[in-house]
Amino acid sequence: MALATFKGGVHPPDKKELAKNEPIKEAKSPQRVLIPLSQHLGAPCKSIVSIGQEVKKGEMIGEAGGFVSAPVHSSVSGKVIAIGDFPNAMGKMVTSIVIENDGKEEWTNIKDNPDYIKLSPEELKEKIKAAGIVGMGGAAFPTLVKLSPPKEKPIDTVIINGAECEPYLTADYRLMIEKPKEIIEGLKILMKVLNVNKGFVGIEDNKPDAVQKMKEAAKNEPNIEVLALEVKYPQGAEKMLIRAVTGREVPPRGLPMDVSVVVQNVGTALAVYEAARYGKPLIERVVTVTGEGINRPANLMVKVGTLVSDLIEQCGGLKNTAGKVISGGPMMGFALSSLDTPVTKGTSGILALPEEGIAHAEDFGPCIRCGRCIDICAMGLMPSMLSILSERGFYEDAKEYNLFDCFECGSCAFVCPSKRPIVQLIRLAKSLVKP
Ligand code: SF4
Ligand code: SF4
């Protein structure tokens, strides 16, 4: 039987073999953490601590700055030693709190509640809100907002995104292998909050053992179905996943709630379970440190605020051949200009690529109108035209070609024989015109 999928897409080499067999290990607790007050789309948090203040692990240090916002918590116990502007993974200066780790790992009050599933939807939502949970697949959108759809947009389906279609990354894969029951519990909590009786887990078919583990964990849940999906990038993009799992088409510029669906990542489902059961805030996450440029690839449980340089050191350092370090995967990630950048709630991977094979900006050529990018764009766009208009400065005209429907998956740049920086040109146009 044909596996569920979407139109378009590409098949980059998946390179997951580098880290997929590395079980999740606790990363070394860093000497200090640098915790940005803005780690997600929406309003930045407001600091509620001052320099010199002692904090416990899990203590709130930044409160939500609005509805589309999520609080941040200390990932270590120790003392606040600085509050100031530091660069994030995209090179943008962000107000951040620096905490010196006292190494005592002293937790703020958290308590096991084995009866969490009996809590009311409102109580569960409150726990998710207090834990500062955001989407952990990369975009880091506050989870509470997705769980609060307007009345006119009723939700009937929750999908857990286990596609992990970005090459190299294996954090979600390891979670599905090692914590399948907890992920299913997280899905049940999300279904209860949204009063939904249909839940899916969508996993690309190149992870048959993860499909098996998740099916086993869901075997007594008649309302939950685990689906194997065709291996194709960007299968894990929300709109593509919804299409593959439910057959529903999210309208242009629309949201999953327009077709009655909420999508959450595997890591987010685990964080939801831990918040509901233990009241544990989102202070750590699994990060895949991988690539041909790193000595010892690994999947590490990392405290938010740990510097990338600390993680690279724990993985045996960079090889001499390493040319570029990326936060995220090779298709949608961002090249880091400094390794003293902190891991945030949305950091799924740190990827070190060898110098050989890296395309440099000056290498690109003119569009030869081969049409390959148009054939594979999952959104049905004309990436060639968008890149040409942006290159020539006709940013407003790019809107006529549905500029804002592009979700920057990078597939067009991947297939372009002229190595055109299509996504960078699209991002430039988006930053200069209003939607
Ligand atoms: S135009 Fe945007 S959505 Fe289409 S392939 Fe390129 S990056 Fe992906
Ligand atoms: S793939 Fe590259 S060269 Fe071919 S049409 Fe698209 S932008 Fe032009």
pLDDT in tens, 102-148: 999 999 988 999 999 999 999 999 999 999 999 998 778 899 999 99
Tell whether ligand 1 has an atom less than 6 A from the beta carbon of residue 62. no
Say how many Å lie between the CA of residue 250 and the centre of ligand 2.
Answer: 26
Tell whether ligand 2 has an atom less than 6 A from the beta carbon of residue 386. no
Tell whether ligand 1 has an atom less than 6 A from the beta carbon of residue 416. no
Say how many Å lie between the CA of residue 373 and the centre of ligand 2.
Answer: 6
Distance between CA atoms of 312 and 338, rounded to whole angstroms?
12
pLDDT in tens, 142-181: 999 999 999 999 999 999 999 999 999 999 999 999 999 9
Tell whether ligand 1 has an atom less than 6 A from the beta carbon of residue 404. no
Residue 93, CA distances (Å) to 29, 60, 61, 87 in order = 25, 22, 19, 4
Say how many Å lie between the CA of residue 422 and the centre of ligand 1.
Answer: 8
Distance between CA atoms of 250 and 256, rounded to whole angstroms?
6
**Helices within 165-292 (DSSP H only):** 171-178, 180-194, 208-217, 238-246, 266-278
Say how many Å lie between the CA of residue 417 and the centre of ligand 2.
Answer: 7
Q: State the pLDDT at residue 1.
A: 55
Where in the chain are the domains? 30-101+283-354, 113-278, 362-432
Distance between CA atoms of 216 and 210, rounded to whole angstroms?
10
- Computed over every residue of the chain, the mean pLDDT equals 94
Phi-psi region of 208 (alpha: psi -120 to 50; beta: other; left: phi over 0): alpha
CATH 1.10.3720.10 corresponds to the domain 113-278: no
Phi-psi region of 168 (alpha: psi -120 to 50; beta: other; left: phi over 0): left
Tell whether ligand 2 has an atom less than 6 A from the beta carbon of residue 368. yes
Q: What is the pTM of this model?
A: 0.94
Instruction: Give kind and range of the element (H or E) at residue 385.
Output: helix 383-391
Closest listed ligand to the CA of 426: 1
Q: Among 377, 415, 420, 424, which residue has the most ligand 2 atoms within 8 Å of its CB, making it the best to mutate?
A: 420
Determine the atom of ligand 1 nearest the C-alpha atom of 373.
5
pLDDT of 43 higher than 70: yes
The topology under which CATH files domain 30-101+283-354 is Ubiquitin-like (UB roll) (3.10.20)
Distance between CA atoms of 434 and 41, rounded to whole angstroms?
17
